[in-house]
Structure 1
Amino acid sequence: MPTIPRIDMTEATRLTREGRLDEAMALLQGRARPAPDPAPDPAPDPAPGRAPAFRAGASRPIDMVPPAGDPTGPWTAPPAKPPAEPPAVPEQLRALMGRMTGPAGLDDLMPHLRDGLPRPVPSGRADLPPGARFEERSFANAAGARPYKLYVPSTFDGQPLPLIVMLHGCTQSPDDFAAGTRMNELAEEIGFLVAYPGQTQAANMQRCWNWFNAADQQRDRGEPSLIAGIVRAVMAELPVAEGRVYVAGLSAGGAKAAIMGAAYPDLFAAVGVHSGLACGAARDMGSAFAAMRQGGGPDTARHGGRTRPTRTIVFHGDRDGTVHPVNADEVAAQARAGLPHQAEVTRGRSPGGVAYTRAVHRDDDGDAVLEQWTLHGLGHAWSGGSPAGSYTDPLGPDASREMVRFFLSDGGSDEAGA
């Protein structure tokens, strides 16, 4: 991997706020910045008896503090001021970073940028609409215990609602994922429940779902049993519409969503996989890295472990440097098993300017069983997400809204909003 230069986020932020986007982008990508404007003429010498004028960029002398009580004592330097808070990164700069591609793209720069970015804003109680609930719960069984958060919209009055289960990616949390995907806002607008299972650091140091472990790919064992148990706990507590439970995830969470769809086709009516991998793409840590680089291989499509296909919607950036885009094709191959390979292909561009290709596969009844979105120029991030959460690209098509449309249409309507 090429050496990545350290990034001066304060300077990039300043350039962006001044409208100097070309210079900000050059700084983020490690290129030479355009030549700065010529320095102004130095200030004239001051008149006798007057203090010198300070020029922009000139160093200022340190004011000294006179001695207290004893006029003959030494003057001292003032106490050091606490370090200033890092400046907030403007949304325009975030958009620039989200559009960077290639070896110096956002995926490779993320470890260097993370310290300069504001922390994700949790979806706390203070931000909830009146009457809505976003509560933390826990579920345990023989495989262990996992926390989860449950969003109940303010419109809920006892009627059965659909349930969407959202599985976060590595280093993320339920709050972070809720903020980045804005799924709670859609739940409030449309009317459904959202559950966010949380991976623990004890189970994985990076809080990744262990999609690559053979023991965590099987029905009623390991992590699948915990996630299914969370779903059943919600169904026991609240009225969930029959046959309207769905699961979606990003990256490791997307791979785990594919596993859940394969292991529990009787529980999940549809699956959303964003920047993830197919069920069975890996069986251990070594094969996991190989699958992320080059896919799980030709046998992946035949080892989903399903008795029947589960309706699936797939999103993947074609410049993803973390999970190779071939994995999206393998997820799609599992989902369309037994279906004709012909697809209805449309192309478009999101309001943020990101081009995409969308392929829809139908069954013999004409229902959309598989929908695959290829996001041109995007890296490893939730398309159309909010910068309040991590690993999002606000300029892409709104993956959250498109997944909800696909889930709730039950195959009947396939009109995308992008």
Structure 2
Amino acid sequence: MNNSNPFLFAQDLTFALFIRGPVEATTSFFCGIIPEYASADPEPSHCDEQCADSPTRPSLPRAPAESVWLHKTFRGKAGARNYKVYVPTSYGREPLPMIVMLHGANQDPDDFATGTRMNILAEEARYIVVYPEQPQSANAARCWNWFRPGDQVRESGEAALIAELTREVMSTYNADSTRIYVAGMSAGGAMAVNLAVTHADLYAAAGIHSGIPYGTADDALSAMSVMNYGSTDFQFELLQKKSGQRAYTPLIAFHGDQDNVVHPRNCDELMRMNRIFALSQESTPSQVTTFAPEADGIYGHMRCLSCDDTGEVIGEQWIIHGLDHAWSGGDSAGSYTDCNGPDASREMLRFFDSVKLNTGEDREVSA
């Protein structure tokens, strides 16, 4: 909520008390934006004992020496944040692709890296991975403040801060400027959407897990409403780019249909938003939807590809049947994970491998 403004701070609490009652309101007030049915404590992973030995999960090597897992601090015009960066052991100053990973509520870089297994996969695929850290001083639940108007714009707030941090790490490690990506979970996923919209000239693609569309909330109360119920009162068309422009960011999005923290309807609206941003008024989009049944260690799921009139993929949506608010295919050692697949991290890397930023507005997409 508006912790920095005493009047708005009290106003938010008063509304919450009136609408939701003292116990629920106080919990969500001090936890930032966690819905009434979600715990303020970190959830355990959603994985049973059989999951660890699932024959369908590909074996992965252990992460290499910790000397490549570095703790750093960024200070820029928009603020300061600690972050951690993972650099593959094979790195030799050549330009490598880079992913900015934004954690969810009650998480930190170590927990998020463990739960997503992104460092292990990045070692194989030779990606640099950056994990900005949201402190409790910025949000009581360590959520990125995706819902505040000042953090939804290019010039200020957390979107500007993360973009500044991204550019500094790019410069430090000589990252490939055409292959910079952003991904996140829950509040981190919502902030990744903000970055995809406001910095389409920086991020070649975005991976969103259990996230929320852009511009659907402007305070903590409306954020909780969108998280609980979704929203259909969007005016994405007003933000549509002029005919012929290509200033958008391709998205790959994952959501569990049993998510009781962020309503799955948000994923549908996120992809609708993406199509509106990506396509000109003259375009004729197409969609290809496939369904996969449940298998050993893999949830049944729907995968939908959205393409423009040239056949170029502009978005990819995964709805995973039986998954709640957890990173699909994650490691049980991290919070908010489910080790049953599909493997969201691996699929995000596959999607990122197909998209390259060519200029400030154009992208190259391989088959």
What TM-score do the two structures reach when normalised by structure 1?
Answer: 0.67
Residue 255 of structure 2 is matched in structure 1 by: 316
Deviation of the 1:238 alpha carbon: 1.2
Give matches, 1:196-235, under 5 Å. 196-235=131-170
Q: Deviations over 1:52-79 (max 9, x none)?
A: xxxxxxxxxxxxxxxxxxxxxxxxxxxx
Deviation of the 1:330 alpha carbon: 1.2
Give matches, 1:35-74, under 5 Å. none
Structure 2 counterpart of 1:135, which letter?
L
Instruction: Indicate the percent of aligned positions where both proteins have the same amino acid.
Output: 45
Distance in 2 separating the partners of 1:112 and 1:237: 33
Report the CA distance shift for 1:261/1:112 in structure 2 as closer, same or farther (over 3 A).
Answer: closer
Greater CA drift, 169-178 or 229-238: 229-238
Structure 2 counterpart of 1:403, which letter?
M
Give matches, 1:11-410, under 5 Å. 128-130=63-65, 133-302=68-237, 308-337=247-276, 338=279, 340-348=284-292, 349=294, 351-410=296-355
Deviation of the 1:239 alpha carbon: 1.3
Distance in 2 separating the partners of 1:113 and 1:316: 17
What TM-score do the two structures reach when normalised by structure 2?
Answer: 0.76
Q: CA RMSD in A?
A: 2.3
- SS of corresponding position for 2:71: strand
Deviation of the 1:112 alpha carbon: 10
Give yes or no for contact 1:282–1:288 (8 Å, CA) kept in 2.
Answer: yes
Give yes or no for contact 2:63–2:119 (8 Å, CA) kept in 1.
Answer: no
- SS of corresponding position for 1:203: coil
Give yes or no for contact 1:279–1:300 (8 Å, CA) kept in 2.
Answer: no
Deviation of the 1:392 alpha carbon: 0.4
Greater CA drift, 142-151 or 198-207: 142-151
Deviation of the 1:110 alpha carbon: 8.8
Structure 1 counterpart of 2:253, which letter?
V
Distance in 2 separating the partners of 1:230 and 1:112: 26
Deviation of the 1:296 alpha carbon: 3.2
Structure 2 counterpart of 1:412, which letter?
S
- SS of corresponding position for 2:333: coil
Structure 1 counterpart of 2:198, which letter?
A
Deviation of the 1:302 alpha carbon: 3.4
Distance in 2 separating the partners of 1:114 and 1:392: 8
Deviation of the 1:292 alpha carbon: 0.7
- SS of corresponding position for 2:74: strand
Give ranges in structure 2 of 5+ residues lacking alignment: 1-36, 48-61, 356-364
Q: Deviations over 1:325-347 (max 9, x none)?
A: 11001110111112545311111
Deviation of the 1:195 alpha carbon: 0.3
- SS of corresponding position for 1:319: coil
| 2:356 aligned with 1:412 | no
Give yes or no for contact 2:145–2:151 (8 Å, CA) kept in 1.
Answer: yes
Deviation of the 1:143 alpha carbon: 2.9
Greater CA drift, 334-343 or 297-306: 297-306
- SS of corresponding position for 1:343: strand
Distance in 1 separating the partners of 2:168 and 2:143: 23
- Please say which structure displays the higher CA radius of gyration: 1
Distance in 2 separating the partners of 1:350 and 1:110: 33
Give ranges in structure 1 of 5+ residues lacking alignment: 1-106, 118-126, 414-418
Give yes or no for contact 2:216–2:231 (8 Å, CA) kept in 1.
Answer: yes
Distance in 1 separating the partners of 2:192 and 2:255: 14
Give yes or no for contact 1:296–1:327 (8 Å, CA) kept in 2.
Answer: yes
Structure 1 segments (4+ residues) deviating >6 Å: none
Report the CA distance shift for 1:231/1:112 in structure 2 as closer, same or farther (over 3 A).
Answer: closer
Structure 2 counterpart of 1:391, which letter?
Y
- SS of corresponding position for 2:97: strand
Q: Deviations over 1:331-381 (max 9, x none)?
A: 101111125453111111454131000000112332211000000111000
Distance in 2 separating the partners of 1:247 and 1:147: 17
Residue 36 of structure 1 is matched in structure 2 by: none
- SS of corresponding position for 1:165: strand
- SS of corresponding position for 2:302: strand
Deviation of the 1:144 alpha carbon: 2.2
